[in-house]
Structure 1
Amino acid sequence: MKLPPLKALPVFEAVARLNSFSLAADELAVSQSAISHQIKQLETYLGEQLFWRNGRTLSLTDEGRQYLDGISTALLQIERASEQLLGHEESRLRLSVFSSFAVRWLVPRLPDLQRLHPQVELSLEMSIESPVLSDRVADCFITIHKESPAYSYELLYVERLFPVCSQDYWQKMRRELGRESAEAETLPLSTDDISQFPLLSTHSIFDKTAGDWQAWYKAVDASIPKHANVQHFSHMLLALEAARFHQGIVLTNDYMLSTTKDSEDFVRLPCHLVMTGDEFYFAWKTSRRKERGLQLLRKWLLDEAISSGLRSA
């Protein structure tokens, strides 16, 4: 078996992760010259330059990035295997997750994860867009893309949008629409009914102005009336908060209303829904599939998705 200088591998991983020779030296409790020597030894063995050095700026070369992706997994597997043999059950996992999914669905459920699996130490990495699947970013991901063949995927949720408003705003709507009787409360609202009130729109869902409401109207072969008052927000979290404070009607999804408090604050209007085309997956590197921490987290997420109604059994 022909192996590279093994002492240099954790040094290379630390420098690449911290993007600094000096910080890596502090973490590994060695001198900066020792770090430089190990990196130079590894580059000589590989015959490739792993870092670009420009004054104080340090960055991985393409070859360095490719090498890091390969050895990071191997080093983690060595660490996990050693911990299991030593009887240490702790599993430290970095989960990259969309900010809205984390805030509205995942974080309220974390005490349950800690109670059931105290050996799993979960660190959340917030992302606005779907991140690149790589050990450099996180150990596992909640993503809407299934592009990397090196990863396995578990479906958690197929996104759909439906209109909601606050409890107080619903009473206002009923008065103005003449639906104050108990019998009229559950009668379907038409697109014309909805357009009489401010439409709170989230730009980030379809990445275009009023794209969410355009899709909702299009689902029943209609379009947004010219007289409609559309108010624009960059993110669903903002639009939903505006609706919470009685400012209009917002299109939201299931995980945004997954807690008891949210279900009490909002009313889901008797209207049609629209599918966005996005599917949310829990993703983990297939080569790490036997790690107990990943197995526990995958099963817990799936159980929670089923019990909360995000997906069927």
Structure 2
Amino acid sequence: MRSDTPLKAIACFDAVMQTGSAALAAQQLFVTPGAVSQQIRKLEDWLGVPLFARIVRKLQPTEYATLYWEQIKPALQQIDQANATLQRRVESQVRLSMPPAFANTWFARRMPLLMGRYPGLSLHLSASADNVDFSSHTYDLAVRYFDGQDSNLNVLLLLPDEVSVYCSPAYRDWLQAVNVEDMTRATLLITTSHANWSRWLAQVGLSFDGMTSHLRFDQSETAIDAARRSQGLVLTSPWLVEEDLNKNNLVQLFPHKLRTGKGYYLVTSKDRPLTAAARQFRDWLTAAAHCSGDEG
């Protein structure tokens, strides 16, 4: 298509041909009749032919107008169809960000239920621990692991965090820990972004300095995987090891739990309303989290 094609004028011409008058076309396009007439003259000048005969209070299409309209109508209909298709896709699209460990465990287990409930949903999931900038309009919602304090966002608690000690059955059998004091010969698997070992140990009357060895990891998933492979004890949230516990890949070593003061929160922008699809997803996610909390 030529760069100087007057698309606005063509839209006005199409509206006049459909309605039979500039006044009705103006109502359809939410402009003034004068603006429609101006666009028609612009299109006539661009084409170099008269499209309408000006009769009192009426525009009578010329032979050129009838021929031109028949030729461009299929293209205009294709544009309408393309617009409608894209709008339907956008209306069903939900753009979501959440921490990788949460996305790959708790959320991944429930995704089949989500898609079974809403088969037309188009979900774009980014697994990232970075805070979301909603002003960029990149995301509709995000799950964040934090204390829930952010006055710039709408914040809704999904799952409170309460960490426990887990290990593989083989590591439990090797360690033969009868009580927490027996942990001193174990290897602690530490996640730097969720450093709760010192607080948990203090809660049970132990000190981090009294531990024999430890390994540090940047990501929770890596530390949990190391625990599966019998490399030590991991202190983590039950929400991240649900499937491992069900499959007996991991076991809870002691009943002691530590409330971290943080949790998994759903956050949204205060300045931008959610689409219908995003609201639908929000309601499903909060209901799924509520069910998990009841089970826990």
TM-score, scaled to structure 1: 0.60
Mapped pair 1:273 → 2:257? yes
Q: Structure 2: which 5+ residue stretches go unaligned? A: 1-7, 9-82
Q: Structure 1: which 5+ residue stretches go unaligned? A: 1-6, 8-81, 180-188, 207-211
Among 169, 172, 178, the residue aligned to 2:171: 169
Contact 1:165 1:243 in 2 (8 A): yes
1:97, distance to aligned residue in structure 2 (A): 0.7
Contact 2:244 2:250 in 1 (8 A): no
Code of the residue aligned with 1:162 in structure 2: it is: S
Instruction: Write the distance in 2 (CA, Å) between the matches of 1:254 and 1:310.
Output: 13
Aligned pairs for 1:278-293 (under 5 A) are 278-286=262-270, 288-289=272-273, 291-293=275-277
Instruction: Write the distance in 2 (CA, Å) between the matches of 1:148 and 1:118.
Output: 34
Structure 2 SS opposite 1:309: helix
Residues 255-279 of structure 1, C-alpha deviations (whole Å, 9 max, x = no match): 1112266552110012411122212
Aligned pairs for 1:151-230 (under 5 A) are 151-174=153-176, 177=177, 189-190=179-180, 192-206=181-195, 212-230=196-214
Instruction: Write the distance in 1 (CA, Å) between the matches of 2:193 and 2:274.
Output: 36
Structure 2 SS opposite 1:308: helix
Aligned match of 1:41: none
TM-score, scaled to structure 2: 0.63
Structure 1 SS opposite 2:185: coil
Contact 1:163 1:269 in 2 (8 A): yes
Instruction: Write the distance in 2 (CA, Å) between the matches of 1:119 and 1:300.
Output: 14
Contact 1:94 1:139 in 2 (8 A): yes
Contact 1:202 1:232 in 2 (8 A): yes
Query: What CA RMSD, in Å, does the superposition of the two structures yield over aligned residues?
Result: 2.9
Aligned pairs for 1:237-252 (under 5 A) are 237-252=221-236
Aligned match of 1:105: 106
Contact 1:95 1:123 in 2 (8 A): yes
Contact 1:89 1:119 in 2 (8 A): no
Instruction: Write the distance in 1 (CA, Å) between the matches of 2:203 and 2:276.
Output: 44
Aligned match of 1:307: 291
Code of the residue aligned with 1:168 in structure 2: it is: A
Residues 10-47 of structure 1, C-alpha deviations (whole Å, 9 max, x = no match): xxxxxxxxxxxxxxxxxxxxxxxxxxxxxxxxxxxxxx
Code of the residue aligned with 2:150 in structure 1: it is: E
Instruction: Write the distance in 2 (CA, Å) between the matches of 1:252 and 1:171.
Output: 20
Instruction: Write the distance in 2 (CA, Å) between the matches of 1:203 and 1:260.
Output: 22
Aligned pairs for 1:43-82 (under 5 A) are none
**Cα distance, 1:310–1:237 mapped onto 2, change above 3 Å:** farther
1:197, distance to aligned residue in structure 2 (A): 1.2
Residues 206-226 of structure 1, C-alpha deviations (whole Å, 9 max, x = no match): 3xxxxx221111223431243
Instruction: Write the distance in 1 (CA, Å) between the matches of 2:151 and 2:127.
Output: 20
1:287, distance to aligned residue in structure 2 (A): 5.0
What is the identity percentage for the equivalent residue pairs of Structure 1 and Structure 2?
Answer: 27
Aligned match of 2:132: 131
1:240, distance to aligned residue in structure 2 (A): 0.8
Mapped pair 1:147 → 2:136? no
Instruction: Write the distance in 1 (CA, Å) between the matches of 2:288 and 2:260.
Output: 22
